[in-house]
Amino acid sequence: MGSFPGFQKETRVSPSRPAAVVVLAAGAGTRMRSATPKVLHAMGGRALLGHAMTAARAVDPERLAVVVRHERERVAAYVAEADPSAVLVDQDDVPGTGRAVQCALQRLDAEAATDGALVVMAGDTPLLDGETLAALVEAHAGSGNAITVLTAHVDKPFGYGRILREGEQVVGIVEERDATDAQRAITEINTSTYVFDAAVLREFLGGLGADNDQGEVYLTDVVAAAHGRGLPVRALTVDDPWTVEGVNDRVQLAALGAKLNDRILARWMRAGVTIVDPGTTWIDVDVELAPDVTIRPGTQVHGNTVVGQGAEIGPETTLIDCEVGEGARIVRAHAELAQVLPGGSVGPFAYLRPGTVVGERAKVGTFVEVKNSTLGTGSKVPHLSYVGDADIGAGTNIGAASVFVNYDGVNKHRSTVGENARTGADNLFVAPVTVGDGAYTGAGTVLRHDVPAGALALNDFGQKIIDGWVEKKRPGTPAAKSAAAARGATGEERPATGDEAGPSANDPGGAGTDGTETSVSEGSRR
């Protein structure tokens, strides 16, 4: 048979609909050295098993079955969430891929007889895509095969089962441990991906034994049995071995993750997205990017993030499950489960937490954290502020170093700032509090009560001036010398301030002439 290049795309692609796809996900994956089941390790924002199930669905099978055993409850929970219509199959204590497929076929047949093409694939080959599976199904149907095996040629085949051929016919598959030296020299390998005629598979599975080095029931033994009966068994060979590479340890997980990311980036760049530095950019498989999006260096776009046309993301930005509108700009920021509407601006050094909505042309500026809050059209939180559980109206400006005090130690409360309000720097909004439309607040104001529309709110405690305090209480310091020099330059006399003695051990701060305590903080006494 001819060869077929692997390609990462997951849409329904097979006109020859298989009766079923069986995904094998029962293995322990001990080489991962992990408490997490191997098939649940993530790559490109999706578990290894999720990649396999997505590829399986792309060929539109009548039924999809997943075989589970190791960490059964965790794997089963993932399957149920990812694809509720998938059939869960429990493998019993008999080890081996042959037994796993036999359990799957028995489970499927218990619901309805399985007739026609049945695809078997591993749950740990994340780059195996729907296009490749579709080509395998088409080759099987077009050639009238009893079995069609997906194979690849690799330079270093150690560890893989080898394909034994007689011309175009595949006569058997021998595992590495059971192979002779001559067979180990073969570079064509089994990828653990097959299409079987269900009747042929059903017939031969019952006769499989475990007479091999590992004492397991090998699915590959069905190939030799079918050939021995004179049935046609052929192979389809992929051009790119990465497409069928499996994950056995974390080294392979990282290598395949990088290869997957390369394919994702290439696909988006060909679709009209500018990725300035592919070497430092990571994009998950479920991300959606519009044409003319620009991704700058050091950026990660994860989950189900959607980015609109002309938006600029990065540098040094992470987006997780976010929605970014057309023309928005996000710079050196971290955002999760947040929305930035068209024309919005975020960063640098901003943090958008879940539930944040940055309105059209609104701005979240430098060192600003926003959580579960809405900024109206054109509103701004430019500097050094925390906005938590708040609704800010259109055209409003929140002054620098402001904090929405949303937590009373037990419960969270919301605050509201109306449209076109102007709040001063260093404000505290003690929730729940409402500031009306067009209201102003003074710098340093603590807002504990609602502010009517158009009002000015401030905390006026007055400002006390104690002339000559520095020269009196901090004599000889650079500040005192500068103050004295300034007085001398203007001809200003130093005002009388009472006792000219310096600060004593018992009165480190001293007092003003009216007896008011003027001590500085403990930190500045040192």
Which residues are catalytic, by number?
383
Strand 386-388's sheet: what is its strand order? 282-283, 300-302, 318-320, 333-336, 350-352, 369-371, 386-388, 403-405, 428-430, 446-447
In degrees and rounded to multiples of 5, residue 206 shows phi and psi of -65, -20
Q: Both tokens of residue 244?
A: 């069928």
CA distances for 193 relative to 22, 296, 396, angstroms: 10, 38, 60
- Return the closest-CA partner of residue 165 out of 227, 229, 98: 227
CA triple 152-157-158, angle to 5 deg: 150
* Exposure string over 229-267, b if 16+ CB within 10 A, otherwise e: eebbbbbbbbebbbbbbbbbeeeebeebbebbbebbbeb
Helices 221-228 and 198-205, packing angle to 10 deg = 100
| Residue from 42, 75, 34, 35 nearest 249 by CA | 34
**What distance in Å separates the CA atoms of residue 213 and residue 124, rounded to the nearest whole number?**
23
Q: How far is 162 from 174, CA to CA, in rounded Å?
A: 5
The pairing of beta strand 329-330 with beta strand 42-43: unpaired
Neighbours of 306 (CB within 10 A): 18
* Neighbour tally for 225: CB within 10 Å: 18
Tell me the two tokens of residue 319.
């987006």
Q: Which amino acid is at 101?
A: V
Q: How far apart, in whole angstroms, are the C-alpha atoms of residue 140 and residue 235?
A: 9
* 8 A C-beta contact, residue 173 and residue 192: no
Q: Residue 164 pairs with which residues in a beta bridge?
A: 172
Separation CA 389–CA 410 (nearest Å): 15
Supply the DSSP symbol for 242.
G
Question: Both tokens of residue 181?
Answer: 């030296």
SS3 414: coil
Compute the distance between CA of residue 188 and CA of residue 289 in angstroms, rounded to an integer.
38
Helix (H) or strand (E) holding 117: strand 117-122
Residues 412, 428 contacting (CB under 8 angstroms):
no
DSSP secondary structure string, 7-66?
A: ----S---SS--SEEEEEE----GGG--SS-GGG-EETTEEHHHHHHHHHHHT--SEEEE
